[in-house]
Amino acid sequence: MLTNLSFILTSDQMKLLQNLGILISGRGSNMEAILKAIKKQKIPINPTIVISNKPNARGLKIAQRLGVKTLVIESKNYKGKRVQYDKKIISALEQNGVTAKNGFICLAGFMRIISPYFIRKYKNRILNIHPALLPAYPGLDAQKQAIQNGAKVSGCTVHFVDEGIDSGPIILQAVVEVKNNDTEKTLSKRILEKEHVIYPEAISVIARKKIRLSGRRVRMLN
Ligand code: GRF
């Protein structure tokens, strides 16, 4: 079982591990890349829960197959009640050990804006991946924006979540060339391959505490 890393760590070491919660809405390919990297012992973190706001998210089955507990907390009845919904998520995270003291949260294709309440509670403990080189092309359809703007390069960014849209401190980025004949689909595919590399890598440096945040700048330690 992935949820129990005791096959590689002693129980004392387990106590020192931080817990990871992953929030998804759909395909879950970034979540899968993260969980597989944990399984290969590349990230010292304990994935305790995957939560989806959509009951039919494909990622739920993948998480289950990888032995990670899943939960559906539907958001469709919470229009205009952002904090109320986020409190349900927070309570589920806490019940699974993902606390503001001992947890990290990865947004992995979670198609909801999270409230300042949630973000302040887990300050610098929520990460997101975005399919563009931020601060270029924040928000929806980032790959389409890059093509329409004639960008020669785009890529992806892992960043801390702050109260703006895709505006938090940048942790890692990867560059992808935009080719003359690229469509939104072909560019998205090549960017996604890089996402699957840098998201696990970013969580790994954070879990190993090899990172310093000063203002908006994230510095990697050796
Ligand atoms: C990815 O392109 C990611 O950059 C964006 O949403 C998409 C999620 O894909 N935030 P998946 O669910 O991880 O496959």
**Closest to 59 (Cα-Cα) out of 97, 90, 30, 81:** 30
115 to 107, 204, 208: CA distances (angstroms):
13, 26, 28
Distance, CA of 125 to CA of 105 (rounded, Å): 6
109 CA from centroid of ligand 1 (Å): 4
**Which residues on adjacent β-strands are paired with residue 164?**
none
Q: Which stretches in the chain have pLDDT values below 50?
A: 1-4, 6-7
pLDDT of 41-79, one tens digit each?
Answer: 999 999 999 999 999 999 999 999 999 999 999 999 999
Q: Is 196 a catalytic residue?
A: no
Write down the pLDDT at residue 13. 62
Write down the pLDDT at residue 9. 58
Write down the pLDDT at residue 10. 62
Q: In terms of pTM, does the model score above 0.85?
A: yes
Pocket of ligand 1 (CB under 6 A): 24, 26-30, 108-109, 129-131, 192, 195
Strand pairing category for 103-107 and 18-24: parallel
* Residue of 25, 29, 30 to test ligand 1 pocket, by largest number of atoms within 8 Å of CB: 30
Write down the pLDDT at residue 1. 45
Write down the pLDDT at residue 17. 84
Query: What letter does residue 105 receive in the DSSP assignment?
Result: E
